[in-house]
Structure 1
Amino acid sequence: MVFGFRFSFSLSSLSPGANPCRRRDAPHHMRSTSLPCPVLSPLLDEIRSLRSSPRRDGFARINRLLAALDDLLHLPRTRDTLRRRPAWADRLFDDFLRLADAHGSFLSDAIALKQHLSEGRTAIRRGDPVRLASAARSHRRVEKEIAGLASSIKDLARSPTLAPGIGPDSEIAGIIAEAVAATAATSTEVFLSVSGWGSWMVWAMKRPSKKGLEEAEMVAMEKLEELMERIEGLEDGSGRVFRSLVNTRVTLLNMLTPSL
């Protein structure tokens, strides 16, 4: 991703709840004299929110960020900016493709995780250690795949270098760059949050042979059921993000394609 764009605000300069459209006391504070506040404020709020706590309702807040970004992308000034910087616009288009690919792959992995968790519960219920061990191995393989997805987009999560601005185009470029970085950083954190879930199946394989066996099985099955519900929520959330990312790429394509 291109981080050479510089613009006239810094996300870190705002305290929580501050309104960037009303700050006029210092040139280095986040503000905009040229972008409409109803478009700018919600987007900056979502970027700040994701930066402060990326895992909490991460996918839902990414979706809100992308909805706010869509409003920015539909501004005529944004369209003109992107058309004046075709190399950067193309790279941005590729960045959203990478994010969409990562979420599309996560969806497939989430389905696999649910299957392995379900197989683990069945194996515990039937007292089948061979099947349980197989489910645990398969689950760990998928976890490694998801860790690979996180690694594949971690470079997008680096914040661009922000400095006092140079030209009006750099303001829009910087805002979009921050949105990409926040989306990638949060996606990475949520992807990695599933790491270690399969350890509950490993724990179940080491349960006591007689004393406490029934209680241990009950605890393991309840935990695996809880994890299945959590992965269903992540699957749904990532699916929404995936569709939003695809729509963002369509918006960019329409902006960059000359009208016939």
Structure 2
Amino acid sequence: MAAWFCRRLAALTVSKASSYLGHKELSCSCSASLPSRIHPVVAGLHDSVNALLAWTKAPAPVQAASTLWIGAGMDHLGHLLSSLTDVLHHPQVQDPERRRCQTASSWTERLLRDLVVIADAHSCFSDVLVSLKELLGEAQAAVRNGDATRLAAALCTRRRSDRDLSSLAATLRAVSHRSNSPAAATSDSGEAALAEAVEAATCAVASASAAIFAGLASASASSVLRALTSPPTASSAEAMERLQNLEECFVAAEDGCKQVHRALVNARMSLLNVLTPC
């Protein structure tokens, strides 16, 4: 199922990311052309984007992933998606006149597509986590029993799951590096500012999600490989500790993934409501 999701995601996204494109922190000034009533809501979205980008740019932990690091990333994702939903629920955005104008906007169509891609990626991520947790149980049993053959088999299975995680991370990096020029798609300055803020939020969500996926893939590879190469006697307790730490990372990621996926679905439904003619 994970492989099917990855093929589906590949069909929905661009084939190659533009590596030279970077994320820029947003200033509240880019929403100055919006009506004053909606400005504070968009300003809150800017703050959430900048907080998430700051987490993404911060140095990764030495062990590639930790429960605190994953938890912080998932919390930032949840806050940003909540801010995005608040913007889409704002009466100014829900205004019938604005909704008629937004129905044909290219940036809203792109946002709908990107939200589907990111939500599907998190759904696929959840499936991969289930497989990795089962693998982890096999690896822990193999370490306890000193069964090198069983541990080697678990390593082979882990490689397939890690490739799925790496593929998902690459897909979302492509989304996060997509050209950010929504303002050119509309002549309305207020809508252009709103489009810029929403586009930046989508890119930040994709970038942070990719960082979490890649971090877990790296942590999984490191923990299982070290367990495989550890001596069967003196280092067995250390190997078990590494595997238990990895299990805690999987649990933290699984809990956060469910919340983020729900928030993505809610954001997409909110956008569909905005685009539905009265």
The answer on whether the counterparts of 1:40 and 1:72 sit within 8 Å (CA) in structure 2 is: yes
| Per-residue deviation, 1:204 | 2.5
Kindly report structure 1 stretches of 4+ aligned residues shifted beyond 4 Å. Answer: 161-166
Larger helix proportion of the pair: 2
Aligned to 2:44: 42
Q: 1:61 aligns with which of 49, 59, 76?
A: 76
Aligned to 2:9: none
Aligned to 2:163: 144
Q: 1:77 aligns with which of 92, 100, 104?
A: 92
RMSD: 2.6
User: What per-residue deviation string (whole Å, max 9, x for no partner) do you get for residues 168-203 of structure 1?
Assistant: 210111111011011011111111001232333222
Of structures 1 and 2, the larger Rg is shown by 1
C-alpha distance in 2 between matches for 1:13 and 1:93: 22
| Per-residue deviation, 1:78 | 2.4
The reply to whether residue 105 of structure 1 matches residue 124 of structure 2 is yes
Aligned to 1:172: 194
| Per-residue deviation, 1:256 | 1.7
User: What per-residue deviation string (whole Å, max 9, x for no partner) do you get for residues 20-69 of structure 1?
Assistant: 3xxxxxxxx44525243441232111100111122741121111111111
The answer on whether the counterparts of 2:121 and 2:168 sit within 8 Å (CA) in structure 1 is: yes
The reply to whether residue 205 of structure 1 matches residue 228 of structure 2 is yes
C-alpha distance in 1 between matches for 2:165 and 2:25: 30
Q: What's the TM-score, normalizing by structure 1?
A: 0.81
The answer on whether the counterparts of 1:78 and 1:172 sit within 8 Å (CA) in structure 2 is: no
| Per-residue deviation, 1:77 | 3.2
Three-state SS of the structure 2 residue aligned to 1:214 is coil
Q: Alpha carbons of 1:244 and 1:163: their partners in 2 closer, same or farther (altered >3 Å)?
A: closer
Three-state SS of the structure 2 residue aligned to 1:258 is coil
Q: Alpha carbons of 1:128 and 1:11: their partners in 2 closer, same or farther (altered >3 Å)?
A: closer
The reply to whether residue 185 of structure 1 matches residue 207 of structure 2 is yes
Amino acid of the structure 2 residue aligned with 1:116: L
Three-state SS of the structure 1 residue aligned to 2:233 is helix
The reply to whether residue 160 of structure 1 matches residue 199 of structure 2 is no
Amino acid of the structure 2 residue aligned with 1:146: L
How many equivalent pairs are there? 235
| Per-residue deviation, 1:95 | 1.0
Three-state SS of the structure 2 residue aligned to 1:53 is helix
Unaligned runs of 5+ in 2: 1-12, 14-22, 61-68
Identity %: 30
